[in-house]
Amino acid sequence: MIDVRRAVVVRSLVPVLCALTVAVAPACGQTESTPQSSPTDAKAIAKMIGRGDAWKTDFSKISVPPEEIVSGGPPKDGIPAIDEPSFESASEADRWLEDSDPVIVVEHGGEVKAYPLAILIWHEIVNDNVGGQPVAVTYCPLCNTALAFDRSVAGHILDFGTTGRLRHSDLIMYDRQTETWWQQAVGTAIVGELMGTELELVPANTLSWAMAQALYPGILVLSRDTGHRRDYGRNPYVGYDDPGGAPIPTFFRARTDARLPAMERVVALDVGDGWAVSFSELSDVRVVNDGAGDLAFVVVWKEGASSALDRSQISSGRDVGQTAVFDRRLGNQVLTLEWKEGALRDNETGSTWNLAGRAIAGPLQGDRLRSIPHGNHFWFSWVVFRPETKVWSG
């Protein structure tokens, strides 16, 4: 049976994505395949995926089948990255952000910054520094991948922009120093001089604005003063994340994995062959204690954050919740955390913890768990890159 509502959503999205005057986004990344290296092939590849844009990319180095790379509509930098971000205080941001608005929170070196999806949905990349660490804060709306990367590579600091291309519906970024192309979902260079290089993930949690403020009173917030005119707060992908829907066929041509619905949100960890748990499971159990290799981790879910891809106004989106992932090893102990009587507590000491990984009461008060990088991908956009992913189920 044809999902009429879904068909309308897809038809309405395609012209929006192709309109160069509106900066709506490409989508997520993928794994590597057999490299192509012939200079003759390089010219053909440049023509096939370069599509008339001016590129200095070394197209003789490519680790994925070039036919998997498709146009997302806008040209190179048609969706403009934010290169000189300005920030405002929490009280200033509170004038326009609603409690449920989702924000990407990055903490380093004593500094904490929030990047509202209300802004990132129009720009996809922010080149910034947090506590002295150069970071690229990225968001691919078509894959719901909100990820932060260290911009330092082999002693050089890279700046990233949008190629206007997608692979498996995922944003392909490029760095302006070498014009290498990078798959955003996995942070891997797939075309160009730095092919095969992997960016280091930086812990970044997508939280509600209310939670971000509560956890980090001195937080700085990305300002709407970006140098671009956009309708910040409006969602140009209305209805895209319908739980019963599917990725847009024009952008996603791979087979889907039937273990979970394609548009199910998952907490995804790049450990072992990959690890994931669905938001449907998490919203029931709220806390998952598990491990991979020598890593013992805990995944925590809490209600309160809106979907950025549901209603026309992001703040009005349905509540999909917010997540955090921590290493549950503390000294010589491996903690087991549970949600008890409205609070997150460990079974070993009875200490109470918050979504920043801090013990706020009990014997361990003042201690902190290490945050583990993770994403809240759509299932289709994670498993296409990590097909052997273990799916947790209670």
pLDDT of 248-280, one tens digit each?
A: 999 999 999 999 999 999 999 999 999 999 999
104-128 per-position pLDDT tens digit: 999 999 999 999 999 999 999 999 9
SS3 content of the chain, % helix, strand, coil (to 5): 15, 35, 50
164-218 per-position pLDDT tens digit: 999 999 999 999 999 999 999 999 999 999 999 999 999 999 999 999 999 999 9
The residues, ordered by sequence, that sit 6+ positions from 28 with a Cβ below 8 Å of its Cβ are 140, 142, 143, 145, 166, 167, 168, 169, 170, 171, 183, 184, 185, 377, 381, 385
Task: Take residue 176 and report the two structure tokens written for it.
Answer: 């302006």
Task: Take residue 115 and report the two structure tokens written for it.
Answer: 């990047």
212-239 per-position pLDDT tens digit: 999 999 999 999 999 999 999 999 999 9
Is pTM beyond 0.85 here? yes
* Residue-wise burial string across 15-54, b where 16 or more C-beta atoms lie within 10 A, e elsewhere: eebeeeebbbbbbbbbbbeeebeeeeebeebbeebbbeee
266-391 in CATH: which number? 2.102.10
Question: How sure is the predictor about 354, in pLDDT bands with cuts at 50, 70 and 90?
Answer: very high
34-68 per-position pLDDT tens digit: 444 444 589 999 999 998 899 999 999 999 999 99
Annotated domain spans of the chain: 1-260, 266-391
Given this model, what pLDDT does residue 51 score?
Answer: 87
Distance of alpha carbon 149 from alpha carbon 135, whole angstroms = 5
In 61-159, where do the E strands start and end? 69-71, 87-89, 102-108, 111-116, 125-130, 133-140, 145-150, 152-153, 156-157
Tell me which H or E stretch contains 161: strand 160-167
In degrees, rounded to 5, the angle at the alpha carbon of residue 184 between the alpha carbons of residues 90 and 354 is 40
Paired strand residues for 390: 275
Distance of alpha carbon 160 from alpha carbon 177, whole angstroms = 9
Given this model, what pLDDT does residue 292 score?
Answer: 92
Relative to beta strand 69-71, strand 160-167 is antiparallel
String of DSSP letters for 176-231 = TTT--EEETTTTEEEESTTTT-BPPEE-EEEEEHHHHHHH-TT-EEE-S-SSS---
Burial of 75 (0-12, 13-18, 19+ CB in 10 A): middle
Given this model, what pLDDT does residue 351 score?
Answer: 98
Distance of alpha carbon 253 from alpha carbon 140, whole angstroms = 17
Residue closest to 76 by CA, chosen among 167, 160, 156 = 160
Distance of alpha carbon 101 from alpha carbon 103, whole angstroms = 6
Given this model, what pLDDT does residue 233 score?
Answer: 97
